[in-house]
Structure formats: structure tokens, C-alpha cells
Amino acid sequence: MTELWRLTAHDAHEKLRAKEFTAVELTESVLERVRAVEPKVNAYITVTEDLALQQAREADTKFATGTATPLTGIPLAIKDLIVTKGVRTTAGSKILGNFIPPYDSHVYENLRRAGAVMVGKANMDEFAMGSSTEHSAYGPSHNPWDLDLVPGGSSGGSAAAVAAGEALGALGSDTGGSIRQPASLCGNVGFDPTYGRVSRFGIIAFGSSLDQVGPIARDVEDAATLLDCISGHDPRDSTSNPEPVADLRHYLGRDIKGMKIGVPKEYFISGMEPGVTARIEEALKLFEHLGCVVDRELSLPSTEHALAVYYIIAPSEASANLARYDGVKYGYSDRSRGSMWENMEHTRADGFGEEVKRRIMLGTYALSAGYYDAYYLKAQKVRTVINREFQAAFEKYDVVVTPTTPTVAFPLGAKLNDPYAMYLNDIYTLPSSVAGLPAISVPCGLSGGLPVGLQIIGNFFDEPRIIQAAHAFEQALGGGNRLPGL
């Protein structure tokens, strides 16, 4: 029974059902892989080995009693801002280094109900602020395709775990690209659902009007299965949408003849890597070959403003969300300084990393009385314009197709001291986030031996059509689950 960690979740499910192996054997295979490669990859902040084996035993009981579902016994990596009862949850920060949550997040509750297995809590940029996982207080993760390169971020640990065989699938979170960009850089499928599709109850907040949890997977089918499991209304999150949830697996294997695809001009900028441009051009030809109508005349003129809008709104919301970490109620605390105010000041100065402090300062500045109208209010107005441009596009097109990132994975350290260069990674993922739209990144080949991602953006709650397009594309390309020879 070798290398079970190479299987997709759906293949593993078939074989578990056929009793070719047990959930405990599958989990042991993944844990063995973790022991072998984790010293090089650092995909996890915490590996929950004993818990994983206990959950695997419970999964085997579900198979024995006929109550198994597609995720029963499937070993997963869970981003470390997803709250898990009794299991340390750090959000990649020193300030939450000792936080053991007393409750479960909605998404983890759903996974547990399905009988999924948690291998561990995945590494991430502190409070999900970053594009390389280098802003983690627990050391950077490495890209399994080339260990000298970043895996992307902020869900870089989740993506690296899936690519390295340290999990069969993962949950990440996306505020401005943090699922799609690392999925693209690690050769995975990453799906950021419509804002409101997945409950944020128990998700450590960064930018509350932008944050969404979603899957990082080996192929489109697994992404659909994971998203099906975590979607749905939850009264504990007031922005959780009551719309009925479509069964995404239902949209696999359908043909996409006649689908209307808009390709926005503004997404083909100078500075894009030639190998990325080439793979995207080939992808568009493949869509035409599949019978789609591909129109290159779409224009989304406000695309260039999405970065500025995002870097006002996200830090503003973050500055409010992060005010609670004061060393008084929970988390890291420095009580050695004398007055309460001094203790708070030192707790925050010590507990937060540089990037987080930068965002808090940006956000408090943008929200301050004298500048609120000039920055925050203006950003919200431009956000509405970006949204309207997308809505006009969806009157003409079923989906909008773009690259996920302008380049493939870059070397560790290359952008660490240049925040703006780091922010530019998300130039193609920010616009749909700002609009609250669903978008997937699906692998579309290699450039210089490294994965390139194609982004498919849909209208609000049109996850089914995105899955349909992404699955048809992936199958035409010869299928998913391409793992690097780590």
C-alpha cells in the first residue's frame, strides 16, 4: 500500500468504499509523508497527528456503518485562522501563539460532520496579510516545485501541503487573492466563493467585507466536493447568504459548448511573464476548441484602481478587527511594564509583525476624521464602480477569464522588503474580491517548469458555471492532480 498520499480525494473515496484500504491506512500514509518532507516544506504550524488518527478511526466506523460521505476519512490541511476547538489557532501570529479556541468554526464543524480528517493547521502570512507566506511568525513555507521559491500566500501552507502530498486537500481563505494566488503558484485548484456563500463564523477576521473561506485541491472535482461541504447559510454570520446552495458535483463533466467568455484587455499588462501569456493564450484557444465563444474585446476600465481600493478598505477593516489583541483578554501578553497602557503597547509592539503593523497604521490613518472622506469613502465609491463594470460584463458573458497571477513563483526574499512589489502579485485577483464575486484558479500548464494558473470569474452565486467551465477545461488539458517530484 504505497504512496496513498498521491491520490485525489475522489479517488481515495472510491477506494475506501471498495475497502482497498482503510481511512487509518490513508491517514498513516499522509502522516508518513509529512514526516519525510515537512522539514523542507514547513507547510504546517501545528501537525495534529494523534487527533488525525482518532478521526480516521471514526471515519472507518462511518464506512462500516454505511454513513460515509465523499470527505469521510480524507486527510486535509486547515489554514491556521480557522478556529478549531482545543487545537491551537495562531493566524500565523505570535500574538495568538498560545490561543486554544473554546469553540469550532462553522466550516470545521461541517468537515467534522462529514467525517473528514485534519492533518494539521496550515502555515500562513500573519493574519492573512501577504502573498508569499514569508510574513508568518512560524517561518516561511517553501514551494514543493522548487524549495527556493515561495508557495504564494497568504494560504501558502495550505497550497504547499496539497502539492507536497502532506494533505489530499485543504481549506484556505481569500481576502484579495490568498486562495487563488498560492494555488496558482503551487499547481493546485483554488476556489474563492461568492462573498456570503461560506460562513465566516470562527474565522479570524482580516478584512470582514472581503474574507471568504474556500478549498485548495488537487483537481476541480475535489474543489467542488470541499466547497459543497462548507457552503450554506449560518445564522451566526449575519453576512451569510440564505440562497439555496447548488450541488456543485452535479456540474462536473458537462460540455461547455456555446459558453460566452469575456477576456478583459486590462488584464494583459506589461510586466507579465511571457510564459504566462503563452499558457493563457493556449488556454483561450482550448476554450474555443471546446465550442466556447471567446471575446477579447471586453473592457473593465477600473481594473487598475482595484489595488488602491483594496489597500484602503482591507487595512481599514483590519485596523478595527485587530484592536482586540491587547494582551488583556486572550493571547500573548507582556505584563512586565508597569501601567496597563504600557503593557498593551508592548504586547502589540512585540506580538505583531512588521506587515501587520504597517496595515494597522495605514488603516487607522485612512479612517481618521480628517481623511475618512478622501480615502475610505472614496474607495467605497470606486468599489461600486468596479462592481458595476463586472455586472455589465455578465450581461454579455457567462464567465470572465484572466490569468491568476502575472508571474510564476518567485524566490524567497525577493519581494520581502518591497511591500508594493509584493502587493502587485494580486493585481489580477483583487478586482473580483473587491466586487465580492466568485473566482477559481485552475492549472493551465508550466512556464520554465513552474505552474501557471488560469482564473475564471463568475457572477454572484454562479459557482456552478465556474465549476462547469473549470472542469471541462481541466479534462481537456488531460486532468488534474499533477504533483511535483519533490
* Amino acid present at 145: W
Which of 29, 79, 93, 173 is an active site residue? 79
Using CB atoms within 10 A of its CB, is residue 253 exposed (0-12), middle (13-18) or buried (19+)? exposed
Q: Are strands 212-217 and 169-174 parallel, antiparallel or unpaired?
A: antiparallel
Q: Given candidates 8, 46, 154, 231, which one binds ligand GLN under the rule CB under 6 A?
A: 154
Q: How many residues bind ligand GLN (CB under 6 A)?
A: 13
Q: Given candidates 80, 104, 398, 426, which one binds ligand GLN under the rule CB under 6 A?
A: 426
**Which of 122, 129 has the CB closer to ligand GLN?**
129
The owner of cell 470606486 is 382
Using CB atoms within 10 A of its CB, is residue 234 exposed (0-12), middle (13-18) or buried (19+)? buried
Q: Which stretch binds ligand GLN (CB under 6 A): 59-67, 173-181, 219-227, 477-485?
A: 173-181
Provide the mask over 273-302, with x wherever binding to ligand GLN is found by CB under 6 A and - wherever it is not: ------------------------------
d(CA 463, CA 437): 9
Provide the mask over 39-78, with x wherever binding to ligand GLN is found by CB under 6 A and - wherever it is not: ----------------------------------------
d(CA 293, CA 153): 33
d(CA 312, CA 371): 11
CB of 379 to ligand GLN, least distance (A): 14
Does 187 bind ligand GLN (CB under 6 A)? Our answer is: no
The owner of cell 495605514 is 362
CB of 403 to ligand GLN, least distance (A): 16
Catalytic annotation on 336? no
Does 131 bind ligand GLN (CB under 6 A)? Our answer is: yes
Provide the mask over 223-252, with x wherever binding to ligand GLN is found by CB under 6 A and - wherever it is not: ------------------------------
Q: Given candidates 38, 126, 134, 174, which one binds ligand GLN under the rule CB under 6 A?
A: 174
* Amino acid present at 133: T
Q: Cα 277 vs. chain centroid, distance in angstroms?
A: 23
* E strand spans, 175-298: 189-192, 212-217, 260-262, 293-295
End-to-end distance of the chain based on CA atoms, in angstroms?
20
Q: Are strands 44-47 and 117-122 parallel, antiparallel or unpaired?
A: antiparallel
Residue whose Cβ sits closest to ligand GLN: 178
Q: What sections of 66-153 are H helices per DSSP?
A: 106-114
Q: Given candidates 101, 151, 176, 182, which one binds ligand GLN under the rule CB under 6 A?
A: 176
Which of 93, 105, 131, 178 is an active site residue? 178
d(CA 463, CA 458): 7
d(CA 120, CA 113): 17
Three cell numbers, residue 203? 474565522
Residue 217 exposure: Cα atoms within 13 Å on the Cβ side? 28
Catalytic annotation on 178? yes
Catalytic annotation on 231? no
Q: Given candidates 56, 122, 129, 469, which one binds ligand GLN under the rule CB under 6 A?
A: 129
Crossing angle of helices 9-17 and 220-230, rounded to 10°: 80
Q: Given candidates 73, 92, 115, 130, which one binds ligand GLN under the rule CB under 6 A?
A: 130
Q: Given candidates 158, 178, 188, 316, which one binds ligand GLN under the rule CB under 6 A?
A: 178
CB of 146 to ligand GLN, least distance (A): 21
The DSSP output letter for 128 is G
Q: Give residues 306-365 in contact with ligand GLN (rule: CB under 6 A).
A: 314
CB of 325 to ligand GLN, least distance (A): 17
Does 177 bind ligand GLN (CB under 6 A)? Our answer is: yes
Q: Which stretch binds ligand GLN (CB under 6 A): 122-130, 247-255, 390-398, 451-459?
A: 122-130
CB of 125 to ligand GLN, least distance (A): 7
d(CA 176, CA 252): 27
Which of 154, 199, 231, 333 is an active site residue? 154
Residues that bind ligand GLN (CB under 6 A): 128-131, 154, 174-178, 206, 314, 426
- Catalytic residue numbers? 79, 154, 178
